Amino acid sequence: QKEVEQNSGPLSVPEGAIASLNCTYSDRGSQSFFWYRQYSGKSPELIMFIYSNGDKEDGRFTAQLNKASQYVSLLIRDSQPSDSATYLCAVNLNSGGGADGLTFGKGTHLIIQP
């Protein structure tokens, strides 16, 4: 059974600091990994996806993947109060031309303190 684990938080980070969000997954066959941000009362919004081991950077966000350890993380640099939200980690068994439903973690509630 596919499982995705996240610390539910809340994770409190001072404004301007780096927020580090972590996620582990159970299925070694997982191929693609996603981070979504969800504000209260809103639908999930894609932040980043990563397929290969290592780091992937996009602006203030960096996703890190370690398939051997079955671990994926999201770093948010120069955290802003607007980054306060629930961050959902999601995993997909397929990559490339395939498509499959996503398995989500329960999410980490991030609070950026002004």
Of 28, 29, 69, 96, the one binding other proteins (CB under 8 A) is 96
111 lies in the site for other proteins, by CB under 8 A = no
105 contacts other proteins (rule: CB under 8 A): yes
* 54 is a site residue for other proteins (CB under 8 A): no
- Site for other proteins (CB under 8 A): which residue of 24, 72, 74, 107? 107
| 95 near other proteins (CB under 8 A) | yes
In order, the DSSP letters of 34-89 are EEEEE-TTS--EEEEEE-SSEEEEETTEEEEEETTTTEEEEEESS--GGG-EEEEE
Terminal C-alpha separation, the chain:
40
- Residue whose entry in the numeric block shows the structure tokens 């993947």: 65
Instruction: Report how many residues bind other proteins under the rule CB under 8 A.
Output: 26
Q: Which residues pair with 90 in a beta bridge?
A: 34, 104
32, 62, 64, 84: residue in contact with other proteins (rule CB under 8 A): 32
The piece of 13-21, 45-53, 55-63, 70-78 that touches other proteins (CB under 8 A) is 45-53
C-alpha torsion 5→39→74→16, nearest 10: -130
Binding site for other proteins (CB under 8 A): 32, 34, 36, 42-46, 49, 51, 88, 90, 94-107
